[in-house]
Amino acid sequence: MLNYILRRLLLIPVTLFGIMLLNFAIIQFAPGGPVEQVIAQLQGTAVSSTARITNQGGDSGGSASSSESGNNFSSTSNYRGAQGLDPEIIKQLEVQFGFDKPAHERFWMMMKNYLTFDFGQSYFQDRDVVDLVLDKMPVSISLGIWSTLIIYIISIPLGITKAVRDGSNFDIWSSAAIIVGFAIPGFLFAVMLIVIFAGGTYLDWFPLRGLTSTNWEQLSLWGKIVDYFWHLTLPIVALTISGFATLTMLTKNSFLDEINKQYVVTARAKGLTEKRVLYGHVFRNAMLLIIAGFPSALVGMLFTGSVLIEVIFSLDGIGLLGFNAVMTRDYPVMFATLYFFTLFGLIMNLISDLSYHLVDPRIDFDARGN
């Protein structure tokens, strides 16, 4: 098992490098980069915005030159919308964003910095990327951990009950309810919850925005706990409503598959109680896939499943940060979060594989040649 772990650890940097290289190459062909973003602002804003941008890049003489020599326009710029701007301004923008260097040099410099966890500054928020991510993490961690735990806590007992009572009325109507919940998009369910429970039309039981109240610092410890979960209730319900179906049916089918095996028949023939057979023999084998998949499920909930929920409930988390970074072409935020979360995901995948061995020691990855 140690050899397998070492091989997987050695593959992590190679995989991470490949993912970063592929995404960096794709981004180079995407229109609307940071320089174009600023050009668009310059074309549609007052002179004060121009002064602010050029001052960040160096001496503001480029702006003055533009006003004194009105015919000194750029007609050969590679940037859309650059016509009518002083070429000196374009050069200053390229230096400011690092686009005065070739793409391969920018990539190597970026990866060299990332090896020391130097993620740079956001282009448009004037803050370190690490500080931005740390500010958003409490929201994403809260949504991800609690949603995943609730899904597992409810889905596993429900799936076991459905397997034991397969074909009963309970199995039929619970399956129907699960399918309906799975068919409703999370964001649509979130809007419905707001309309009903957050002062939209009917009841005003829950807050509409934020992770805590404005007076959170003045609350007692118990008051802070209550306020925290009071704000999380509707977002978590909206986020988990469609997550029960897959895990519940996977649990049910896993138990049904194990219940029909010969060792279960033998255990019953020995006179063991149904509870002992179910939880002493079937549970461990049936839960292999479910328990081992917990790390991957947590990663999915943390970083990919809550963008729309964060927008609807005004929760400023990682999902919203990444979405805004893509829309504004804030490359430091885009690539830094991609690097960190890809690394985190690769490590969690390794933990998932190790979970298989911990749940069932008979699984030996070294013997399989993986």
How would DSSP label each residue in 176-224? HHHHHHHHS-HHHHHHHHHHHHBSSSS-B-S-SS-SS-TTGGGS-HHHH
Q: Per this entry, what is the length of the chain?
A: 370
Domain limits, CATH 1.10.3720.10, in the chain: 130-359
Q: At what angle do helices 34-44 and 47-57 cross, to 10 degrees?
A: 150
CA distances from 337 to 20, 114, 324, 331, 341 (A): 11, 11, 12, 10, 6
Q: Encode pLDDT of 183-208 as tens digits.
A: 888 788 888 888 888 876 778 788 87
Q: Encode pLDDT of 9-35 as tens digits.
A: 888 889 999 999 998 888 877 776 666
Distance CA(101)–CA(3), nearest Å, equals: 42
CA dihedral sign of residues 279, 280, 285, 287: positive
Residue with tokens 């074309």: 43
Q: Classify domain 130-359 at the CATH superfamily level.
A: MetI-like (1.10.3720.10)
Residue 54 above 50 pLDDT?
Answer: no
- Mean pLDDT check: name the lowest of 28-37, 120-129, 142-151, 324-333: 28-37
Instruction: List phi, psi (to 5°) of 43.
Output: -70, -20
Distance CA(83)–CA(49), nearest Å, equals: 18
Q: Encode pLDDT of 216-273 as tens digits.
A: 888 888 888 888 888 888 888 888 887 788 788 888 888 888 887 888 888 888 887 7
Of the candidates 254, 206, 250, 253, which has an alpha carbon nearest to the alpha carbon of residue 232? 206
Q: With bands split at pLDDT 50, 70 and 90, how would you rate the model's confidence at 92?
A: low
Distance of CA 101 to the CA centre of its chain: 31
Q: In terms of pTM, does the model score above 0.75?
A: no
Residue 39 above 70 pLDDT?
Answer: no
